[in-house]
Structure 1
Amino acid sequence: MRTPLLALTLAAAAIATACPASAQSTGQINVICSVQAEWCNLMSTVYAKTTGVKVNMTAKGSGEALAQLNAERANPKTDIWFGGTGDPHLQAAEQGLTLEYKSAQLKDLHPWAQKQATDSQYRTVGVYLGPLGFGFNKELLAKKKAQPPASWADLLKPEFKGEVQMANPASSGTAYTMIATLVQLMGEEKAFDYMKKLHTNISTYTRSGTAPVKAAARGETMVSISFVHDVTTEAVNGFPVGSATPSEGTGAEIGSMSIVKNGPNTEAAKKFYEWALTPGGQQFGLAAKQFQLPSNAKVPKDSRMTDPAKIKLINYDYAKYGASAERRRLIARWEKEVMNLPR
């Protein structure tokens, strides 16, 4: 396993190759970052040191990021939005919040990343893929003599009452991905019937999509509904967690990146965007112990990353469920019919 110092050195070398000294410049860029803090910090620190550009990085979940861009619509203060589930990026594109920009590197990206660009009329692009599944604390399961959940149906078992955490879909792209996945997998009525039953076993709905798996890792809950790469990160950090993807089928996030329309530093944003799609720019996730599948097909694969070919992925309709009206409708129905039910 790479040490943090070695990872930082390798990342710096990768950027130096992609951004030679002759191309260095001054100036600044304002970035909303919707991946883990370690990834955000590594990107911003090394990019700033190797290009001379000051990076003002703000960490926000996908739902909060979209809300900020809407609030700033009349006077944008953000230049680029990096990472987070793709649905809100598609909604930002639909609402005219992001800039149409077609990268010359699209041909090097996996088809799912290219489709994210075409679906948005080139107002966003895929930067990583992450399947949705479960995290579980092995020690807590052993104490209760319970088996790890392997299906959506398993989460309804009595032994998991009060032992499951998930995020609130109004603030978390992870949780909205779950709702959209279940609707496509089961049909809307059956999906909402399922979520009403699941509510009985939920201990809390967190604000952040990563909070449930962190709680599972630290023994605060037995099971989390999470992207499986977040579970891998906790396991690599030494916590007693494992992961599974539902046997009935599951969805996946296409983590995306968008340039904000009429941002204060658009030319600097385009340079950052291009660099973030290079193989060098896409190695920061792994350097920060994040295990999403990078969108550039030339990035070396890591064995700890979930192979999409080995799990049952549904044919997720990113265009439909990434639309603003559909997202609002489904979240509003969840808030009305599920969130405030008694347990």
Structure 2
Amino acid sequence: MMKAHRIFRGMAALVLAGAGGPLWAQGAGEPLQLMCSVREEWCSLIATTFGRVSGAKVQVVRRGSGDALAQLAAERASPRIDVWFGGTGDPHLQAAELGLTQAYKSPSLPQLRLWAQAQAKQSNWHTVGVYMGPLGIAVNTDVLARRGVAAPQCWHDLLQPAFRGQVVVSHPASSGTAYTFVATLVQLLGEDKAFGYFKALHQNVGQYTRAGTAAVRVVGRGEAMASVSFLQDVPAERLQGAPVAGVVPCEGTGAEIGSMSMVRGAPHPELARRFYEWALTPGAQQFGVAAGQFHVPSHRDTPMDPRMPSLPRTRLVNYDYVKYGSVAERQRLIDRWEREVTAPPH
């Protein structure tokens, strides 16, 4: 992380120099309450940098996207969060459907990529895409070589006996990564075949984690051979020296649209709007890479790092974000997954 923090300091200095000093100075007022569903390093960088360029204090609550949605629902009568940043787009769409977030049509929308604009339109302007990343398989190449196992090339390769107890998957009730996995396989295979696959894969799963990023870290530490992960998380593990590689499954895959939403009834709505606009700028969107995250950014003018996944070379399913981003469909699929896949046998 020392390299990331050196990049951060340099980028923050440029932002401050270009601005001629702190922007939107708020003095010593109450802090922005930021719910953050990306990696801790990224959360820290955006909170610190926005604090420097705005003069505002920022308090960060780190939650996986499923847990973040649950917290917003629990606090709807008296919201404590101002902005929810990052995490898969499905829970953000569900928060919009539940009336937990505030409609806002940013003037920056025309500068964003089409998939980010579509996310905003589908939510009736309650959320917006800030990054995209495809789902895939992360593998520890050293562990595979030591065990004499070939790297999986397809989703179905994870069902091989060689992977018994060696696959890590996050839990779809708490993890947007896992819910994207469920919805992707349902769209690829059909629902009944997909749940047949999940039940077979369960025999090879050694651990279910609460968050998707935790799964790839288990693989990075050499505690498992493979995980179901977003491919932009793989370079971050390599930066830490882990022998991790990413695989785009041969059958095709889905992708997340990481999103951002302002909370309805937020305690600091004006400060929330300022953060929202700042987070859509090319300068702010570079902090993903500075924190070792390699998503495709939503603003067209944000520089592209060569380690970011190549979307044109990835076989993506025609993911129905509206259907699988609905509250009822998400709950139905999670209920079925818990009932048929992980429930103890009777």
Q: Which residue of 2 aligns with 1:214?
A: 217
For 1:131, which of 116, 119, 134 is the aligned residue? 134
For 2:51, which of 42, 48, 52 is the aligned residue? 48
Q: How does 1:133-212 map to 2 (within 5 A)?
A: 133-212=136-215
User: In 2, Cα distance between the equivalents of 1:218 and 1:115?
Assistant: 38
Matched-pair contact (CA < 8 Å) for 2:23–2:55: no
Compare 86-95 and 231-240 and name the one that shifted more: 231-240
For 1:318, which of 303, 317, 321 is the aligned residue? 321
For 2:334, which of 323, 331, 336 is the aligned residue? 331
**TM-score relative to the length of structure 2:** 0.96
**Counterparts in 2 of 1:22 and 1:47: CA distance versus 1, 3 Å:** closer
User: In 2, Cα distance between the equivalents of 1:190 and 1:120?
Assistant: 30
Using the TM superposition, give the Cα deviation of residue 14 of structure 1 relative to its aligned residue in structure 2, in angstroms: 4.8
Matched-pair contact (CA < 8 Å) for 2:172–2:179: yes
SS at 2:258 equivalent: strand
For 1:252, which of 244, 250, 255 is the aligned residue? 255
Matched-pair contact (CA < 8 Å) for 2:64–2:87: yes
Segments of 5+ residues of structure 1 without an aligned counterpart are: none
Matched-pair contact (CA < 8 Å) for 1:33–1:82: yes
SS at 1:127 equivalent: strand
Using the TM superposition, give the Cα deviation of residue 207 of structure 1 relative to its aligned residue in structure 2, in angstroms: 1.1
User: In 1, Cα distance between the equivalents of 2:9 and 2:60?
Assistant: 21
- 1:268 alignment partner AA: L
Alignment pair present for 1:10 and 2:10: yes
**Counterparts in 2 of 1:262 and 1:304: CA distance versus 1, 3 Å:** same
Segments of 5+ residues of structure 2 without an aligned counterpart are: none
For 1:83, which of 64, 82, 86 is the aligned residue? 86
Matched-pair contact (CA < 8 Å) for 2:133–2:296: yes
Using the TM superposition, give the Cα deviation of residue 153 of structure 1 relative to its aligned residue in structure 2, in angstroms: 1.0
User: In 1, Cα distance between the equivalents of 2:43 and 2:188?
Assistant: 33
Compare 232-241 and 4-13 and name the one that shifted more: 4-13
Matched-pair contact (CA < 8 Å) for 2:23–2:54: no
User: In 1, Cα distance between the equivalents of 2:20 and 2:313?
Assistant: 36
- 2:289 alignment partner AA: L
Matched-pair contact (CA < 8 Å) for 1:199–1:341: no
Using the TM superposition, give the Cα deviation of residue 183 of structure 1 relative to its aligned residue in structure 2, in angstroms: 0.4
**Counterparts in 2 of 1:201 and 1:275: CA distance versus 1, 3 Å:** same
Q: How does 1:227-242 map to 2 (within 5 A)?
A: 227-242=230-245
For 1:265, which of 258, 268, 286 is the aligned residue? 268
User: In 2, Cα distance between the equivalents of 1:250 and 1:11?
Assistant: 34
User: In 1, Cα distance between the equivalents of 2:2 and 2:298?
Assistant: 22
- 1:39 alignment partner AA: W
User: In 2, Cα distance between the equivalents of 1:187 and 1:102?
Assistant: 35
**Counterparts in 2 of 1:251 and 1:19: CA distance versus 1, 3 Å:** farther
1:109-140: CA deviation from partner (whole Å, max 9, x where unpaired): 11111100000000000000011001111111
Using the TM superposition, give the Cα deviation of residue 8 of structure 1 relative to its aligned residue in structure 2, in angstroms: 1.4
Alignment pair present for 1:24 and 2:32: no
Matched-pair contact (CA < 8 Å) for 1:133–1:228: yes
User: In 2, Cα distance between the equivalents of 1:103 and 1:49?
Assistant: 23
Compare 15-24 and 57-66 and name the one that shifted more: 15-24
**TM-score relative to the length of structure 1:** 0.97
Using the TM superposition, give the Cα deviation of residue 21 of structure 1 relative to its aligned residue in structure 2, in angstroms: 3.4
Using the TM superposition, give the Cα deviation of residue 13 of structure 1 relative to its aligned residue in structure 2, in angstroms: 3.3
Runs of 4 or more, structure 1, over 6 Å off, are: none
User: In 1, Cα distance between the equivalents of 2:165 and 2:305?
Assistant: 35
**Counterparts in 2 of 1:332 and 1:229: CA distance versus 1, 3 Å:** same
Using the TM superposition, give the Cα deviation of residue 320 of structure 1 relative to its aligned residue in structure 2, in angstroms: 0.5
Using the TM superposition, give the Cα deviation of residue 50 of structure 1 relative to its aligned residue in structure 2, in angstroms: 2.4
User: In 1, Cα distance between the equivalents of 2:208 and 2:3?
Assistant: 34
Using the TM superposition, give the Cα deviation of residue 19 of structure 1 relative to its aligned residue in structure 2, in angstroms: 8.2
**Counterparts in 2 of 1:177 and 1:5: CA distance versus 1, 3 Å:** closer
- 1:24 alignment partner AA: A
Q: Which residue of 1 aligns with 2:71?
A: 68
**Counterparts in 2 of 1:222 and 1:71: CA distance versus 1, 3 Å:** same
User: In 1, Cα distance between the equivalents of 2:34 and 2:24?
Assistant: 20
**Counterparts in 2 of 1:18 and 1:114: CA distance versus 1, 3 Å:** farther
SS at 1:132 equivalent: strand
Aligned residue pairs total 342
- 2:311 alignment partner AA: P
Measured on the aligned residues, the alpha-carbon RMSD in Å equals 1.5
User: In 1, Cα distance between the equivalents of 2:294 and 2:138?
Assistant: 14
User: In 2, Cα distance between the equivalents of 1:11 and 1:37?
Assistant: 18
SS at 2:294 equivalent: coil
For 2:297, which of 294, 298, 307 is the aligned residue? 294
1:246-305: CA deviation from partner (whole Å, max 9, x where unpaired): 110100110000000011000000000000000011011011111111111100111000
Matched-pair contact (CA < 8 Å) for 1:136–1:243: yes
Matched-pair contact (CA < 8 Å) for 2:22–2:52: no
